[in-house]
């Protein structure tokens, strides 16, 4: 069951990118749109 609803506020999250830099969804709020892609696995 999808937990992200269209036209609702996106849940904030924070993860480190693969270089160790902290990335939060909130960093982009007011700045940029964000396309979040959940990959099925690269390999």
Partner 1 sequence: MAQLRRDYEQFVSLGTEILVAGPEKAEAFREYWAKENLPFIGLPDPEHRVLKLYGQEVKLFKLGRLPAQMLIDKNATVRFVHYGHSMADIPSNEEILSLLTSSPT
Tell whether residue 22 is a contact of partner 1 (CB under 8 A): no
- At its nearest, how many Å lie between partner 1 and the CB of residue 19? 8
Tell whether residue 24 is a contact of partner 1 (CB under 8 A): no
Token pair, residue 40, equals: 């099925």
- At its nearest, how many Å lie between partner 1 and the CB of residue 27? 9
Check: CB of residue 35 under 8 Å from CB of residue 25. Answer: no
Q: How far apart are CA 15 and CA 32, in angstroms?
A: 18
Q: Which residues bind partner 1 (CB under 8 A)?
A: 1-13, 15-20, 23, 25-26, 28-43
């Amino acid at each position: 069951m999808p937990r992200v609803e269209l036209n609702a506020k996106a849940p904030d999250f924070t993860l480190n990118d693969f270089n160790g830099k902290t990335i939060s969804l909130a960093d982009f709020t007011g700045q940029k749109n964000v396309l979040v892609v959940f990959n099925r696995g690269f390999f």
